Chains A and B, each alone.
Chain A
Amino acid sequence: MYRETEILQQTSPGIIGETGEFTINVGPQHPATHGVLHLVITLSGETIKKVEPHLGYIHRSIEKMCESLNYRQFIYVTSRMDYLSAHINNHACALCVEKGLQIEVPPRAQVIRILMDELTRVASHELWWGAMAMDLGAFTPFFHAFRERESINEIMEETCGARLTMNYIAPGGVVQDLHPDFQRRVKEFLKLYKRKIHEYDELVTGNIIFQNRMKGIGMLSAKDAISYGVTGPAARGSNVSSDIRKIQPYEIYDKLEFDEVLETGCDSFARYMVRIREMQQSIRIIEQLIDNIPEGDFQAKTKAVLKLPKGEFYTRVETARGELGVYIVSEGGTTPYRIKFRSPGFSNLSVLDHIARGSKIGDLVAMMGTLDLVIPDIDR
């Protein structure tokens, strides 16, 4: 019998435990769970005693599948893992393969990749903002967020050919050169964005109800964040410096000027402000690069069939959610022997139980929103 059937049978009112606790299910089909996450929450009245995530409702066995795909094919499956930062996922896999083959990527390709990365990061944070405001009951920010996201999607569609799972990266560079109108479109987007960014503060950030729902909720200390392996904006809201773009810069991030956004609040509002400011930092990076795209090749010369030498290769990149690690163990063939994707959501989710204990069930949604979970990334 499936576990959710057992748990459902426990929720009838006649079986309230002696301590007055009862168990409810949130999900797997629920508008606030951002995917298919099943939470089994033990409550005493409205206070949460324990949150237990049940995963696996979107487990597509990607790691097993990648063992039978060759090094050019497996990249395209990974863009379905954390589909909101699809480009960054592809980038991580390409970097790992290039590390193994010791390919030098031409500067034009590096700049194009970083531009696309930062645009993806802005798009992902936009969707996070809209979805989180919708979870808390405000429907209007959702439409504002999607307006910006549609502008970015149009740029992606013109250049890469797809709106969401744009498989634009190959080991060695990018698949095809930039669209000739790319610079103009990105500059138009930047102008539009700067005109509209104040709306976010007026609509949501400065709203007194929103602030009361977020301040003081979901406290996560820095020591716990490191121990639980939390990365990304969720850790930076607790003053843990964890931006891979600063710690272990890849591509040309060490030559760019941007700040790592840290907040000391440790609560949900701090994590929220980290993401809002990260969007502004990404715009800063895009502005630095958009006029300085070097000429040259967009792809290094590689063989058609790639064979990594025997050994192990690990790459760390910073996605919109945190640190993604790609670990390839190769035995010298055309397919990897073992691939492991260290996904940021997996560790971020493990801290949900820790921060939710003792708070009310209405605050759980705010906490999950600020952790920014994308469930296919967790289940792989």
Chain B
Amino acid sequence: MSKELLKFRITELLPTATFDDSGEWLNVELTAAEWPTLAGALCKDSHLALDYMFCLTCIDWKTHLTMVYHMTSTSFRHSVVVKVKLDRDKPEVVSVSKCWRTAEFHEREVYEMFGVNFLHHPDLRLLILPDGWEGKNPLRKDFEDPINMIRL
């Protein structure tokens, strides 16, 4: 499907979505409240069939956080990127692990690295960092660790 058709279909599912055409794939920009409705629809819709999520990450812009979800369809081979803007002081978003099971591990990693709370996640706890690192979110831009991090 081309970008225009994708835009059309996504606007049918969620009229308030905004788009950004400039990159390689179609970027959809949402707020955290709009994401649950679109998430369920994207994986179940037979025209879009976005069944494979290949990247789930978060970016720390110093004023807010952005969750980035990259999805593609194994049947139609089109890809969509969804960006969800989160508040920096209390970042919360609904977990998508029911639609895409790969999100279980990816969201745990974002939880420990950035401190984003995923609602309705089956098992949200530290994955890669050792015990005792709850609350310290290393990939945030204001993370300081004078003991371990030796600056060049």
Contacts and interface: CB of A to CB of B under 8 A. Distances in A.
Contact of B74 (A228, A240, A349): A240
Interface stretch (B1-9, B29-37, B53-61, B86-94): B53-61
B152 interface: yes
Contact of B57 (A64, A327, A349, A354): A327
Nearest to B57: A340
A240 B52 CA distance: 11
Counting chain A residues whose Cβ lies within 8 A of the other chain, the interface size class is 35 or more
A346 B74 contact: no
Contact of B139 (A64, A228, A229): A64
Nearest to B23: A312
A227 B139 CA distance: 27
B142 to A, nearest CB: 13
Interface of B is mostly: loop
A229 B54 contact: yes
B138 A61 contact: yes
Interface of A is mostly: mixed
Interface residues of B, number: 34
Contact of A342 (B54, B60, B128): B54
Given A63-B139, A64-B138, A325 B54 contact: yes
Contact of B77 (A63, A240, A247, A311): A247
B102 interface: yes
B119 interface: no
A55 B51 contact: no
Contacts of A314: 24-25, 55, 70
A323 interface: yes
Interface string B89-133: 000000000001110111001000000000000000011111100
Interface of A: 1-3, 55-56, 59, 61, 63-64, 68, 224, 226-229, 231, 240-242, 247, 311-312, 314, 316, 323, 325, 327, 329, 337-338, 340, 342, 346-347, 349-350, 354, 379
16 contacts: A1-B131, A2-B130, A56-B130, A59-B128, A63-B139, A231-B54, A247-B77, A314-B24, A314-B70, A325-B70, A337-B59, A338-B139, A340-B55, A340-B57, A346-B106, A350-B105
